[in-house]
Chains A and B, each alone.
Chain A
Amino acid sequence: MRKLLFAVSTALAVGLVAPVTATASSPQQDLEEFRAYFYNKFPNVPKNDFINGVYSIDKDSRVQWENMEEFPVYEDSVAKGEELFNTPFANGKTYADCLKGGGIGTRQMYPYFDSDTGSIVTLEESINKCRTDNGEKPLKYKKGPIAEISAYIAFTSRGNKFNIKIPDDERALAQYEQGKKQYYMKRGQLNLSCADCHYTNSGSQARSEILSPSLGHVTGFPVFRHQKWGELGTLHRRLGGCNANIRAKPFKAQGDEYKALEYFLSYMSNGLEVNGPSSRK
Chain B
Amino acid sequence: MNIRLISSAASVVALLGVFASPVVFSASHGDMLAEGQRLAFDRKLGNCLTCHMIAGGDSAGNLGPPLIAMKARFPDKKVLRAQIWDSNVKNPASAMPPFGRHNILTEKQIDLVTDYIHSL
Contacts and interface: CB of A to CB of B under 8 A. Distances in A.
A206 B93 CA distance: 17
B35 to A, nearest CB: 22
Contacts of A201: 63, 95
Nearest to B91: A13
Nearest to B53: A205
A190 to B, nearest CB: 4
Size bracket, chain A contacts: 10 to 19
Contacts of A205: 61-63
A147 to B, nearest CB: 29
Contacts of A209: 61
Interface string A192-223: 10001100110011111100000000000000
A17 interface: yes
Contacts of A204: 61-63
Contacts of B61: 204-209
A87 interface: no
SS class, residues of chain A in contact with chain B: mixed
B49 A190 contact: no
A73 to B, nearest CB: 26
B97 A189 contact: yes
A7 interface: no
B80 interface: no
Contacts of B97: 189-192
Contacts of B91: 13
B60 A207 contact: yes
Interface residues of B, number: 18
A205 B50 CA distance: 8
A13 B92 CA distance: 8
Contacts of B98: 191
A17 B59 contact: no
B109 interface: no
Interface string A168-202: 00000000000000000000011110001100110
A17 B63 contact: no
Contacts of A8: none
Contacts of B95: 192, 196-197, 200-201
A206 B63 contact: yes
Interface in B42-78: 49-51, 59-63
B120 to A, nearest CB: 19
Contacts of A200: 93, 95
Contacts of A207: 49-50, 59-61
B104 interface: yes
Contact of B102 (A17, A190, A208): A190
B59 A13 contact: no
A191 B85 CA distance: 13
A211 to B, nearest CB: 8
A208 B98 CA distance: 22
Given A190-B102, A206-B51, A16 B93 contact: yes
Given A189-B102, A190-B102, A191-B97, A206 B92 contact: no
Nearest to B49: A207
A201 to B, nearest CB: 5
A17 B92 contact: yes
3 closest residue pairs by CB, A with B:
A16-B93, A205-B61, A196-B95
Given A191-B88, A191-B97, A205-B62, 20 more contacts: A13-B91, A13-B92, A189-B97, A189-B102, A190-B97, A190-B102, A190-B104, A191-B98, A192-B95, A197-B95, A200-B93, A204-B61, A204-B62, A205-B61, A205-B63, A206-B50, A206-B61, A207-B49, A208-B61, A209-B61
Interface of B: 49-51, 59-63, 88, 91-93, 95, 97-98, 102-104
